[in-house]
Amino acid sequence: MATINAANAGTYAFDDTFKVNRLGYGTMQLTGPGTWGPYAEPEKGIQVVQKALDYGINFFDTADSYGPWFADRYLAAGLKGAANRDQIFISDKVGQTRQGPDVWTPHGEPNYLRQQVEVSMMTLGIDHEDLVFLHRIDSHFSIADQVGELKKLQDEGKIKHIGLSQVSVDQIKEAQKVAKIDAIENLYNVSDHHDDDVVDYAADQNMAFLPWFPLATGELAKSGSVLSTIAKKYNVSPAQIALAWLLKRSDNIIPIPGTSSVDHLADNVAAANVDLSTADFNDLSELSTKK
């Protein structure tokens, strides 16, 4: 029986010295309803992070707006004392404000972005950010001003890598005039992959691509879904097939499924052991185009 380990998914190199396993973990579900307020069982959330480490996950995706701040706190607590802490990569996001459950308002004022990076470092207990995404481009400020502030922080040694979230190819190109962009995080999954051009451009430019909503928050994983027939062929869950499709889609993709359940975490990581045939991959790829 294959071991449950994120390393089985292969690795992605952000630079010459650091490789991450291509199945990560997203902290968004470690909050209250509407991604607002504290998680109902904080200790359980911390335990999920600790279990993720046991399963070989060394890539954790978070954001100051998750809670806000609560997910960062649980992540910091879960990683505290980890034996391999220097081999753990955290991707963070700034540029969204929160006014209540399910309310997200972009704010890209350069001073605000700088403030959020500084506060995130304090909350996470780190002296630099491995990767910071501009969570959303704010139309009230130029891309040059928003990405430019992240570039200043990078020059100061506070950010190693810069990323963009929910962007088009044209917006990426605009940002590349200001700074080196190393990662993109867009909505993308087996039933909604209309951003194929972004994935391909990112791969061509040696950028990582993080698909958020990789399981449509469980919708793709439901028994009886379109994925069920193929899942039965491999004797795995629909969620594992959805993640296996992402891993096979492109070598620059790093899925970051989130969960507050240790059992679901194990199921997600086990997707690293699924080797989809070309025929099944192609059949799954048609799901989005049929919408």
Which residues are catalytically annotated?
66
Cα separation, 126 vs 62, in Å, equals 14
Peptide bond into 68 cis (omega under 30): yes
End-to-end CA distance of the chain: 37
H-only helix segments in 65-220: 70-79, 110-124, 143-155, 169-176, 196-204
Quote the distance between the C-alpha of residue 241 and its chain's center.
18
Give the helix/strand (H/E) hosting 184: strand 181-187
Cβ atoms 188, 199 nearer than 8 A: yes
Nearest 5°: phi and psi at 186?
-125, 160
Nearest Cα residue to 65 out of 123, 146, 149: 123
Joined together, the tokens standing for residue 261 give 């359940």
